[in-house]
Amino acid sequence: MARKFLSGNEAFAEGIRLARPQVISAYPITPQTIVVERLSEMVEDNSLKAEFIHVESEHSALSCAMGASAVGARAFTATSSQGLLYMAECLTYASGGRFPIVMMNANRSTALPWNIYGDQRDSISLLDSGWIQAYAENAQESLDLALMSYYIAEHPTVLTPFMVNLDGFVLTHTYEVADVPTALQADEFLPPFKTENKLDLKNPKNLGFSAGPETNTAFKYKEHLGLLNSKPIIKEAEEKFEKIFGRKYTGLTENYKTEDAEYIIITLGSISGLVKETVDWLRENGRKVGMLRLRYLRPFPSEEIASAAGKAKAIAVLEKDISFGNEGTVYTNVNSALYKHGLTIPSSNYIGGLGGRNISEEKIERIFDELEDRETKVTFLEIGGDR
Amino acid sequence: MTEVLWHGRGGQGAFTAARLLGEAYALKDSNSFALAFPSFGPERRGAPIRAFTKLDNKPIGNRSETKKADFSIFLDDTLFSEEAFNELKQGGVIILNSKRPMEDKRVFVIDADSIAEEILKRPITNTVLLGAFSAVYDGISIDDVIFAIKQGMPERLHKRNIEAALAAAKTAEEAFR
């Protein structure tokens, strides 16, 4: 292993290099560009033996990755924001076709108004597309998810495409320390991709077919099962990962000082680092607070949320997303999980970081303060401008 | 945590300096951590830019821009004004690339342009100021800076940039200590 100073994009590219995809098809878009640039350099200098296909759009990028997967190749693509929305049609093709493609999405705001900065409205708007969705906190986890994503997606009981989300700029463009494993270690962790779900002259079959009303539900149910089946495989991947690389991950969620916490912020992505620091600081002042980080939004960690937050006096969901006319989508999902488990904890929703707006330590501290009122409300942080 | 704020103009290499400082600090041992990032957004040659380096002995969770820095480093003195002191923590230090001396205990002035022009043959002062910084800040040595230049810059730039950083460290050592 080598300790390096890398941006989130660069760390992710290192992880993909180690995962040895055979086909990479991508179209550049800020703030994803660097991951694609690094991978094309790796293909050019032969440190990654893959076909790099320059496509004319994101729609083609994912279509191309599907074609590769349909002949049994390990495929990778990456995008962001409008690019992800432009390929949305292909997202359900990839999941319904059970092609275990890995995609990195650099989380970025969606137009209009035009904005290149980070929020999570792009990927969260596509939660229902049948992809596994993970959210990285830092460069190291980005690199590690690049490797683990293939292990999970390609497992025969899962066969589901995997979207790894990195917060645009604050994670993709921030440099920090990451351990880069050796190719030998990575190969020990991740076997080559083998699948029955491919075009094969020796074993002819039909892919990409129609299914009418009589059979459609069965296909969709199996797709649903594929995502649910990923839960034990995520655990299996993390156990094997820890054995080889010595880094431990905790499944669909990360509990940070939640055990005796009376007030908990539930959040996701790179803001979690600052929430943890705020928790530490408040605990030094005798406050019983904690953080629950959702590492995955699909499959959704219902049981994990209920067991970690079930004893809290109040919770807040802090997210960089709004489902217009309702509330933050993560909040909706969290409340559903709590209700299903018979928990009626006051929960409030904080919409922050839209279009890259900074979320400060003071704001997080204020959320913890407001939680003590045990209200149920939806609040936009720092609206600014004319209201 | 030590927070360093870099000021430069697009093309002067302020972000590269921020990144190399993070690299110099974080790669010296396994108990050192750093974050380095520019002010995000579209880039343009000549436009003012800011870059940030945060240094600590534990992982750093706060990815926000620094509001008040321990060190504020100006690659270009046309960007410097009294405003700079408002962005400084109590006891903070400014390192200013300028040919004009300044009578203020909080400001260290170094003529980085002359060192850059002599050694690099071009007015790019990022590694010069990084070398000077290693003489002012105890957290990194000039050897850490040299290691970071070797790790983080293309090979063809190593020799002259190392030479420039060494010259600046020597000048700063004599002038500031």
| Number of Cβ atoms within 10 Å of the Cβ of B155 | 7
Contacts with B23 from chain A: Cβ below 8 Å: 5, 175
How confident is the model over A22-28, as a mean pLDDT?
97
A307-340 CB burial, b ≥16 within 10 A, e <16: ebbeebebbbbbbbbbeeeebbbbbebbbebbee
B34, pLDDT greater than 80: yes
Contacts with A246 from chain B: Cβ below 8 Å: none
Contacts with A174 from chain B: Cβ below 8 Å: 35-37, 63
pLDDT reported for residue B177: 66
pLDDT reported for residue A386: 62
Predicted ipTM of the assembly: 0.96
Cα–Cα distance list, B3 to A110, A172, B92, B168 (Å): 32, 21, 10, 21
> Which residue segments constitute the domains of chain A, with CATH numbers given?
2-245 (3.40.50.970), 253-380 (3.40.50.920)
Q: A290: phi > 0 → left, psi -120 to 50 → alpha, else beta; which?
A: beta
Q: Which residues of B touch A (CB under 8 A)?
A: 19, 22-23, 26-27, 30, 33-38, 40-42, 59-65, 151-152
**Rounded distance, CA B36 to CA B28, Å?**
16
Task: List CB contacts of A14: < 8 A, sequence separation 6 or more.
Answer: A4, A6, A38, A143, A146, A178, A180
DSSP secondary structure letter of residue A214: H
Helix (H, G, I), strand (E, B) or coil at A362: helix
The mean pLDDT of chain A is: 97
The pTM assigned to this predicted structure is 0.97
What does the angle CA A275 – CA A144 – CA A30 come to, to the nearest 5 degrees?
75
B8, pLDDT greater than 60: yes
The domain ranges of chain B are 2-176
B6, pLDDT greater than 90: yes
Please report, for chain B, how many H helices and E strands are present, in that order. 5, 6
Q: Is the peptide bond before A299 cis (omega within 30 degrees of 0)?
A: yes
| CA nearest to A77, candidates A28, A145, A44 | A28
Chain-chain contact of B63 with A171 (C-beta, under 8 angstroms) = yes
Amino acid at residue number B83 = E
Listing DSSP states for B117-146 in one string gives HHHTSSS--HHHHHHHHHHH-TT--HHHHH
Task: List CB contacts of A336: < 8 A, sequence separation 6 or more.
Answer: A302
Contact B7, B75 (CB under 8 A): yes
**Rounded distance, CA A293 to CA A249, Å?**
12
Model pLDDT for residues A107-134, shown as the tens digit of each residue: 999 999 999 999 999 999 999 999 999 9
**Rounded distance, CA B89 to CA A87, Å?**
47
Round to the nearest angstrom and report the end-to-end CA distance of chain B. Answer: 23
Chain-chain contact of A361 with B36 (C-beta, under 8 angstroms) = no
Query: Which residues partner with B33 through β-bridges?
Result: B56
Cα–Cα distance list, A329 to A138, A350, B7, B115, B132 (Å): 23, 11, 39, 56, 50
Sign of CA dihedral A246, A252, A255, A259: negative
Contacts with A275 from chain B: Cβ below 8 Å: 61
Q: Which fold has domain B2-176?
A: Pyruvate-ferredoxin Oxidoreductase; domain 3 (3.40.920)
**Rounded distance, CA A47 to CA B132, Å?**
37
Query: Which residues partner with B144 through β-bridges?
Result: none
How confident is the model over B147-175, as a mean pLDDT?
95
Q: Which of A31-40, A70-79, B40-49 has the lowest mean pLDDT?
A: B40-49
Chain-chain contact of A173 with B37 (C-beta, under 8 angstroms) = yes
B17, pLDDT greater than 70: yes
Chain-chain contact of A175 with B59 (C-beta, under 8 angstroms) = no
**Rounded distance, CA A56 to CA A68, Å?**
17
DSSP secondary structure letter of residue A257: S
User: Residue A357 corresponds to which tokens in the numbers above?
Assistant: 């707006």
A57, pLDDT greater than 80: yes
How confident is the model over A69-75, as a mean pLDDT?
97
**Rounded distance, CA B18 to CA B38, Å?**
8
pLDDT reported for residue A384: 77
**A1 — pLDDT class (breaks 50, 70, 90):** confident
Chain-chain contact of A138 with B22 (C-beta, under 8 angstroms) = no
Q: Where are the alpha helices (DSSP H) in B27-157?
A: 112-119, 126-136, 142-152
Chain-chain contact of B60 with A273 (C-beta, under 8 angstroms) = yes
A387, pLDDT greater than 60: no
Q: Where are the alpha helices (DSSP H) in chain A?
A: 8-19, 33-44, 58-69, 81-86, 88-96, 121-124, 139-153, 183-189, 213-245, 272-284, 302-309, 329-340, 361-371
